[in-house]
Amino acid sequence: MEGESGASQAKAVLGPKITVSPAEFLRVVSKMDKPVVVVNNPGGLGFSKSWQYLTSYKGFLFHTVSKAQLFFPNCEVYEAKKIT
C-alpha cells in the first residue's frame, strides 16, 4: 500500500461504500447488536439541506443522505466534520 493515500488505504481495509435510501440505512442499523453511526450536517444543526450518515456492517460501509434528520435510539452516534 506504499504510495497510496490514507483514503485509499482505508477503503481497502473497510470495503466498498454502498449508498442506500434512508429507510434501508435504518433497516441495516436495526440489525446490529451495538450500532455505531457517524453523522454529518455540513451547515450545522438545522442549517443544511441534507444529513449524511455512515455505518459499517458485515464488512461493508453503508452511507445515506437524508433531507430530514434520522434518529438512532440505543446507538453510539458520532458527529463528523466531513464524510467523503
In Å, what is the CA distance from 62 to each residue of 2, 43, 49? 27, 22, 20
pTM of the predicted structure, to 2 decimals: 0.77
Q: Are 78 and 38 within 8 A, CB to CB?
A: yes
pLDDT by residue (tens digit) across 30-74?
A: 999 999 999 998 765 555 578 999 999 998 999 999 999 999 988
Distance, CA of 66 to chain centre: 11
C-alpha cell of residue 84: 467523503
Tell me the C-alpha distance between 54 and 29, whole Å: 10
Domains of the chain, CATH where assigned: 16-79 (3.30.720.90)
